[in-house]
Amino acid sequence: MNNKKSTNVVWQETKIKREHREKMLKQKGVVLWFTGLSGSGKSTVASLLEKSLYEMGYLTYLLDGDNLRHGLNSDLGFRSEDRTENIRRVSEVAKLFADGGIITITTFISPFKEDRSNARKLLGEDFVEVYIDCPLEVCEKRDPKGIYRKARDGEIKNFTGIDSPYEAPENPDITVKTYENTEKQCVQDIIEYLREHEIL
């Protein structure tokens, strides 16, 4: 969908660079890319993680999939090409946040490996893929938004896990299993990873 229609544009260099912002904030910019089925616990774990990091003195921002579809991505549907454009836009926004020195948490189903791979290519070492692992049957049982039932009844088309595929990560940076562990433990596991890799 990105046809790069902009012409006659030149990158404007600025005097304040990323290293200046990170020094001021005393932290490193990074993108924690949460992926997983609807109902897997992405938003719940992400919100708890953000709260924990805030209490530890870090500046964060949470880019939530549903929230961005109220504004930035409100013109997109759920066809494959729309999902791809959704992730492309989010990747670009997340890149800006990371450049600002902010610990950025994104919560998007992002079902296609290719789209996540493109996000990793764009973000480079700033990209940390967090797989929120939870079986479909557990997600359906939870069904916090009542959307699996609607998808099964045919009221929602192209729903991930029902009539649209979810391609699980093969080598995520972090995997947390929300069907085996508490949300608090999942958050602790992510923080431990960030510490081990000197992101925190």
Q: What is the CATH number of the domain that holds 32?
A: 3.40.50.300
Range of the domain at 109: 18-196
The tally of domains found in the chain comes to 1
38 is an annotated ligand-binding site residue: yes
40 is an annotated ligand-binding site residue: yes
Report yes or no on 134 lying in a domain.
yes
Report yes or no on 142 lying in a domain.
yes
Catalytic residue among 47, 91, 110, 164: 110
Confidence class for position 4, pLDDT limits 50, 70, 90: low
101 is an annotated ligand-binding site residue: no
91 is an annotated ligand-binding site residue: no
Report yes or no on 11 lying in a domain.
no
Report yes or no on 5 lying in a domain.
no
pTM: 0.91
Report yes or no on 186 lying in a domain.
yes
Is residue 161 predicted with pLDDT exceeding 70? yes
The more confidently predicted of residues 164 and 127 is 127
Is residue 81 predicted with pLDDT exceeding 80? yes
pLDDT in tens, 64-77: 878 888 888 888 88
39 is an annotated ligand-binding site residue: yes
Catalytic-residue membership of 110: yes
Residues whose CB falls within 8 Å of the CB of residue 190, separated by 6 or more in sequence, listed in order: 32, 45, 49, 130, 174, 176
Give DSSP secondary structure letters for 56-121. Answer: TT--EEEEEHHHHTTTTTTT--SSHHHHHHHHHHHHHHHHHHHHTT-EEEEE-----HHHHHHHHH
Buried b or exposed e, range 76-85, using 16+ CB within 10 angstroms: beeeeeebbb
Report yes or no on 6 lying in a domain.
no
pLDDT in tens, 172-188: 999 999 999 999 999 99
pLDDT in tens, 103-145: 999 999 999 999 999 999 999 999 999 999 999 999 999 987 8
Report yes or no on 9 lying in a domain.
no
Is residue 1 predicted with pLDDT exceeding 70? no
36 is an annotated ligand-binding site residue: yes
Report yes or no on 153 lying in a domain.
yes
